[in-house]
Amino acid sequence: MSHVALVRGRTRVIEGIAPDAIPFDALMEAQQPTVLKDVARDWPLVRKGLASAFEAIAYLETFDSGRPVVAFTGEPEINGRFFYNEAVDGFNFEGARERLSTMLQRIAAHLPDSQPPSFYIGSTDLGIYLPGFREAENDLVLNHPMFAAPIASIWIGNRTTATAHYDMSHNLACCAVGRRRFTLFPPDQIANLYPGPLEPTPGGQVVSMVDFASPDFASHPGFRDALDTAEIAELEAGDVLFYPAMWWHHVEALDPFNILVNYWWNTSPVFMDTPQHTLLHALLSLRDRPAPEKAAWKTLFDFYVFGPADRAGAHLPPQARGALGALDDSSARRLRAQLLSKLNR
């Protein structure tokens, strides 16, 4: 029988879950990070990794499609933290396209080193770059209607750190080889995490400027408050972590060789645009207006956007609601064309 326990205070751990019985509805309803213990333990890749890093590497090479992947390399001095340079106008690592097997062999060659270069392959599509991997029983049983089109990716490297960031999708993160530590924060901690530039970013998402290994509380005093809300998830090989969209997560790979497989998905209709575009437009059109105007626009957004979806048009006849009515693929296209026309004037 499954039971729930707390890990280091807050992160839920559910044990005894069968791979084909993940409680997706309960996870989505709770909207809390949750470790599903040993759910991926029987994956062939997990078993290879438990035997040795070299066996996991050799096994992964059998699925290499030969297409170059994006690979990042940093000097030993960065200690696996792929981040900005001192001036925050570039990065402390280099990126290049290499064949997956080539990068895996570079990692393997440095496994005995006490302070190796930092190697990282992030967010690589399994179907394109490792065809047959999921079909070889290295896959979660996603037997729920919300998984119409999940994005399945693999992340490979040595002892590396993905600085705290958020994603716009829900996530199932499967620790396949090695151990990982996730430090998670709810979305309302954004100010206490001191986000960096909108662009460029080290990996495509805005990241925290706090060095978690050595926080500068004089420069980032609010980080103490963020730590009070932090949820720590310690993952062993075969463990799966669920966390909701928009949660900040700082990810540390703890062993000389590590692999993560993850699944991203959204429950919003596919015709919806990304809110990140809305944020950029709001910076352009709203941020620097006088405070009384901003307060008035906040009221409008609460009415039209952040309140119940049907409230703004409820008092209008259906034929008069236009964009205030329920959106579908056709009305979304019309609204997008209207917006583009106004932006291009």
Helices (H), 180-242: 223-229
State which CATH number among 1.10.10.10, 3.30.56.10, 3.40.50.970, 2.60.120.10 fits the domain covering 3-265. 2.60.120.10
Give 210-243 pLDDT, tens digit per residue: 999 999 999 999 999 999 999 999 999 999 999 9
> Looking at residues 302-315, what average pLDDT do you find?
95
pLDDT tens for 86-138 read: 999 999 999 999 999 999 999 999 999 999 999 999 999 999 999 999 999 99
Strand boundaries in the chain, DSSP class E: 3-7, 11-15, 34-36, 68-74, 94-99, 118-125, 151-157, 161-165, 170-177, 180-185, 231-235, 240-243, 248-253, 258-265
The verdict on whether omega for the bond into residue 112 sits within 30 degrees of 0, i.e. cis, is no
Helix (H, G, I), strand (E, B) or coil at 49: helix
pLDDT at site 149: 87
CA atoms within 13 A on the CB side of 79: 7
CB half-sphere exposure, 237, CA atoms < 13 A: 22
Can you give the pTM of this predicted structure? 0.93
Q: Where are the domains of the chain?
A: 3-265, 275-343
